Structure 1
Amino acid sequence: MHRILKYGLLAAWLTVVGSALAAPGGTVFTANEQAASISRVRLADGAASHVKLDIAPHNLQLTPDGKRLLVVGVSVHAGHHGNSADDGRLLVFDVADTAAPAFSLAVAGHPAHVITDRSGQLAFVSDAANNVLQVFDLASRTLRARIATGAYPHGLRLSPDGQQIYVANMKGNSVSVIDVASLREVAQIAVGRAPVQVAFLPDGRHSYVSLSGENKVAVIDVARRQLLDKIAVGNTPVQLFATPDGKLLYVANQGSAAQPDERVSVIDTGRGQVTATLRTAAGAHGVVVSADGRHVFVSNMGAASFWVIDVAQQQVIASHAVQAGPNGIAYAADTAGN
């Protein structure tokens, strides 16, 4: 009862705050693992639509041109730990019409995250069950390669120059460095306990890795492939994302099921420390920053919502309801298709 009252009053406060600050345009997509659905929310008016899936989606990602939405997860009939060729799926949607996938591809094992190369033609899916990246050619709709990684690959990001992919290996306590041209692992960097996701600064000089087992974020020198530092954040940090100017890094702290965290740690990358802590809702998980750097969007697994942060004001300005268990989150700026 107190929790309902707390969030009811907070929602009313956010309505007042949001009216005082400029509301962002564009569209936010969330992967709702517990509901086996994706949500699409138009930020200008809050209009939301939801698409039921035959997978429990763990993550989603827009292609660089913004025309496709890629979603990965395990079949709802296989539970959350798929192992066979039929357990996982990569669903490919046209952003102009997300009522149903344009096509889907079988992903063996336990697909966790998906990204593409800069062309948007190759999709890279982390398969935690088999310790590989599966690489799909989206034009021919075929499996192109399987790249060995460390143990239990999870989150992954493409470097700004498009030449490397960094993969967080949760059980290997390392980051795999994948060469995009040759489609092979060229290095592993030891980072610390239970890395979950990776973020790059826009200049490509440094990468940051959430260490869920240490409540810290690791800092990597990309050129030297060397661990430089660790920065203390909240409980069980998961996803993280840098602003386009590279000055700030936003880190979602999920906490545990018994004790969910609701904080977002804001790291000043120049100073190498947390300079602000913002509160959203239970189970802060996914993070994405708008291309103009003005807003941050954070999904909350324990509250079936995502929240909007104004970067200039460093405060939460809005929240939007989605379906149960939102984790992966993506943002698309206004286009004719949105």
Structure 2
Amino acid sequence: MAGAAKTDDKTVKTGRILLIITTIIAVAAIGYSIARSTGLFDSKPEPAAVTAPPKTPEEAIAQLEARLKTNPEDAQGWQMLGWAFFETGRFAEAATAYKRAIQLQPDNDEFLSAYGEAVTLAGDGMSVPADAAAAFRKALIKNPDNPRARYFVAVAKDIAGDHKGAIDDWFQLLEVTPAGAPWEENVRAAIRNVGEKNKIDVATRLASLKPLPAAPGVPAVATAGIPGPTPQEMRAAGSLPKGQQDAMIEGMIASLEAKLKANPNNADGWIMLMRSRTSLGEGSKAATAYQSALKAFASDAMQKARITASAKELGVPGA
């Protein structure tokens, strides 16, 4: 009996951490298409040394690695490589790249929190590893407002059994989150999921929470995702040749599509896919994503209405 109880507890913990992390992965990092649509990359000339653009994300990664062999002190390059590995599901390699970036800029809280996230996702799905937790703590020392670090510190509390403490931490994060911030809806989802699983009433607190006004430049909720690349990461992408930019963008979108095919019950992911395709001027592909989303939520009137409203906001054909 004792052994069975232990197994059950392990299963519950596994389900809890995977539930939270899956929410993150499913809608992660299509921000490069947003940056591309705003012209962020347009002012960057293509280096003469690059003769042919990569055809796949793997080729783009290889070119990044080659550049870093030539210039191993490029902290932003290591950050970009970490992001590229992360978005192709190679979390351990992402952690290695982020660790190198941290060695070059040890006080950079974004590098630290990204490293902690990659280490966590590379782990067994049942814990926030000690070195990841240390990175999150250091990130918060450098910047107490780092949302990724705050989020995962609360995840660690939940896994340790302090469900109320985790929920309180997430509420505190929401209290300083501008409306429409990329992580807002997913923090709310974490609160709801952990509250429901542990019979903690969160509905009243969520309903009474008054979000801050939207920050300048923050996209509408319909276009948001968590955690996504940071502004620093998007600026770092501007140093890539255009062919690498295009290949990485398409690779990330393809990765999101694959995740949605495997798990279509993800409204935020479908909205992100619609936005990405719209940002690239691919109206027909955005419309296909819209119809797939409606099919996935055929029996959920609330989510269907939300998806349709988002599609109309984005100008998706047929919405």
Larger relative strand fraction? 1
Larger relative helix fraction? 2
User: Which has the higher Rg, Structure 1 or Structure 2?
Assistant: 2
Q: TM-score if structure 2 supplies the norm length? A: 0.28
Q: TM-score if structure 1 supplies the norm length? A: 0.27
